[in-house]
Structure 1
Amino acid sequence: MTTPQEWEFAGTRGAVTARIWAAPEPRYVAVLVHGYGEHLGRYGHVADALVRHGATVCGPDHMGHGRSAGDRVLIEDYEDVVADVRTVARAAAGDHPGLPVVMIGHSMGGLVAARYAQLHGGDLAALVLSAPVLGRWHVVDALLPLEEMPGTPLDPSTLSRDASVGEAYAADPLVWHGPFKKPTVRALDAALRRINGYGSLGALPVLYLHGTADELVRPEDTRVGIEAVRGEGLTERHYPGARHEVFNETNRAEVLGDVTAFVDRVLP
């Protein structure tokens, strides 16, 4: 497996740690955008598959996540997260001038990646959205009216049919296992509304992936957001019985194969 290098930069709200998995002769740059409460270190096998496919892979731990600074999982404005992701993407593109950039966002990272594409779509050759928080999210709908956030942690069994994935998640000290922060919930709600109202992603090639048994980010909720942003470049893949983390599912090889086949199809 490819060993990543870590680097740190001054993000919008404090120091941000980023990783890069370098390919010896890359033909494209892949930017990974992780989900809520987790960190980019959980994506080593995804990065490895992409490096073998010809990508140099990079991405940050978002503010308040993983090895980056900030109060845990506290995000007051998702535009700040988009800005930090852009810092990483532009640094990688600067190191590899002329190479196309593919962005891959999972869950909350799909929200960030979709917003990035709305604001900076000209920087991207393609976008991959894995179980993205788009349209509406029942978690936000339930928490938004509450003054005090319940302490119930995420159920690891919702992540994958592979029980070892949930076990590793529960034991990971860099994963947040506590309650949501109210400002983060408000920021999620604002970001969803902002993306829904912005409009189509146009001709940008987009691959949307989702497990049909995802109880954490429900496909019917995401469908609202996909319809709000879809353009002529949309491709969809739905995996029967798969749960939230399709890159960690029992059919992960099929999912990663779909991603690399999509990249081959859309890259110039």
Structure 2
Amino acid sequence: MDGEYQEAYIRNSRGVQLFTCRWLPFSSPKALVFLCHGYGMECSGFMKECGVRLANAGYAVFGIDYEGHGRSRGARCYIKKFENIVNDCNDFFKSICAEEEYRDKCRFLYGESMGGAVALLLHKKDPKFWNGAVLVAPMCKISEKVKPHPLVVNVLTRVEEIIPKWKIVPTKDVIDSAFKDPVKREVIRSNKLIYQDKPRLKTALEMLRTSMSLEDSLHEVKLPFFVLHGEADTVTDPEVSKCLYEKASSPDKTIKLYPGMWHALTSGEPDGNVEIVFADITVWLEKHTTDSNVMVVQPIQAFNDGIVKLNTTASSPETMNKRQKGSYFCGLKGRRLQHHSAM
């Protein structure tokens, strides 16, 4: 890779230590891309290829492991409030945007699966801040095929505060269902930072409520976006992405459905398919970074007056493939293709 990789730790408004990372091109970046990972996933390993590819294309890429995910602290994959994830991402991403060298750069959200919901909620939180979003098989609506009966939801809701962390929600093996390539599937299984147990009760209910809320507000999506989905996806229904595309108010929206591809478009498909997907993503980003009418957000006030760095390390191209140790702490307050065309 022609760039740097850095890792850092921050503390959120609740005092929880969160892991962050960034992939930076050596030259001034074309734009900033902020990663929102999926349920049970993490950034430094699982989303490494995404970070490296986009940095090689000239973008500065930033990721954060949600509380309880990856290398961040907290009960493993326990989501007490989905709003906490959104607020943590909002604080961290905007603190990056406030850095002097990035204030005049376009800002893009990139969300995969549950991360798509995070990205859409970040847009909803501040509709004019983001220049666009790339949404890969996003969780933004509950498919009618798997929507639980209201009675079941009612019963579970009655006990969620009594046994919130219990791993009692039955689910199929998502890894088997999401990753088509058997070799890549086993690589995912060997990643100890990825949560592979049953969902906790409150986590499942928070994801359900978030999806239902987003479903009711898809018409409020106004930013430019590119939604990508595998037609053979059995984890999140492709109809969900079609619904987002049809209902969103954005005049600049693109959807691409990939025949035969599964849920993990960027990490679980054969290499040839992954190349196709990333080529589409970089073409879309390039267009929306160079458009003469692109909306560039005015400089914002930094969230922190000072950042204390402790043994911060950065990787060179020679060491990019090795995980770097070192950190700094800072406190944070607080159809196929359619773009009016078809493939």
After TM superposition, the score normalised by the length of structure 1 is 0.92
Check whether the contact 1:202–1:232 (CA below 8 A) recurs between aligned residues. Answer: no
2:79 is matched with 75
Q: Which moved further from structure 2: 152-161 or 248-257?
A: 152-161
Aligned length: 268
From 35, 38, 46, the equivalent of 1:35 is 38
Compared with structure 1, are the counterparts of its residues 63 and 242 closer, same or farther at alpha carbon in structure 2 (3 Å cutoff)?
A: same
1:223 paired with 2:242, answer yes
Q: 1:85 is matched by which residue type in structure 2?
A: C
Q: 2:179 is matched by which residue type in structure 1?
A: S
Q: 1:73 is matched by which residue type in structure 2?
A: C
Compared with structure 1, are the counterparts of its residues 202 and 187 closer, same or farther at alpha carbon in structure 2 (3 Å cutoff)?
A: closer
Deviations 1:118-152 (A, max 9, x none): 12232211101000011115666388465772465
Q: CA deviation at 1:164?
A: 1.5
Q: Distance in 2 between matches of 1:155 and 1:66?
A: 17
Q: Which moved further from structure 2: 226-235 or 181-190?
A: 226-235
From 102, 108, 121, the equivalent of 2:127 is 121
1:188-227 matches, within 5 Å, as 188-201=207-220, 203-227=222-246
1:141 is matched with 148
1:156 paired with 2:166, answer no
1:112 is matched with 118
Compared with structure 1, are the counterparts of its residues 181 and 229 closer, same or farther at alpha carbon in structure 2 (3 Å cutoff)?
A: farther
Q: Distance in 2 between matches of 1:227 and 1:70?
A: 38
Q: CA deviation at 1:190?
A: 1.8
Computing the radius of gyration over CA atoms, which structure comes out larger, 1 or 2?
Answer: 2
2:17 is matched with 15
Compared with structure 1, are the counterparts of its residues 238 and 12 closer, same or farther at alpha carbon in structure 2 (3 Å cutoff)?
A: farther
Percent identity over the alignment?
Answer: 24
1:70-109 matches, within 5 Å, as 70-95=74-99, 96-109=102-115
Q: 2:279 is matched by which residue type in structure 1?
A: G
2:284 is matched with 262
Check whether the contact 2:219–2:248 (CA below 8 A) recurs between aligned residues. Answer: yes
Deviations 1:6-50 (A, max 9, x none): 111122442211111112211200001100011012111111111
Q: CA deviation at 1:222?
A: 4.0
Q: Which runs of 4+ in 1 moved over 4 A?
A: 137-140, 142-148, 150-153
Secondary structure of 2:34's aligned partner: strand
Question: Which consecutive unaligned segments of at least 5 residues does structure 2 have?
Answer: 160-166, 292-343
Q: Distance in 2 between matches of 1:265 and 1:90?
A: 23
2:54 is matched with 50
Check whether the contact 2:34–2:109 (CA below 8 A) recurs between aligned residues. Answer: yes
Q: 1:29 is matched by which residue type in structure 2?
A: L
After TM superposition, the score normalised by the length of structure 2 is 0.72
Q: Where is the helix percentage greater, Structure 1 or Structure 2?
A: 1
Q: CA deviation at 1:199?
A: 4.4
Question: Which consecutive unaligned segments of at least 5 residues does structure 1 have?
Answer: none
Compared with structure 1, are the counterparts of its residues 155 and 202 closer, same or farther at alpha carbon in structure 2 (3 Å cutoff)?
A: closer
Q: 1:174 is matched by which residue type in structure 2?
A: L
Check whether the contact 2:231–2:259 (CA below 8 A) recurs between aligned residues. Answer: yes
Deviations 1:171-216 (A, max 9, x none): 1110111110111111112212222233435542100000001111
Secondary structure of 2:266's aligned partner: helix
Compared with structure 1, are the counterparts of its residues 211 and 198 closer, same or farther at alpha carbon in structure 2 (3 Å cutoff)?
A: same
Q: CA deviation at 1:94?
A: 1.8
Check whether the contact 2:245–2:254 (CA below 8 A) recurs between aligned residues. Answer: no
Secondary structure of 2:25's aligned partner: coil
1:183 paired with 2:202, answer yes
Q: Distance in 1 between matches of 2:182 and 2:4?
A: 25
From 240, 250, 253, the equivalent of 2:275 is 253
Q: Which moved further from structure 2: 233-242 or 131-140?
A: 131-140
Q: 1:19 is matched by which residue type in structure 2?
A: C
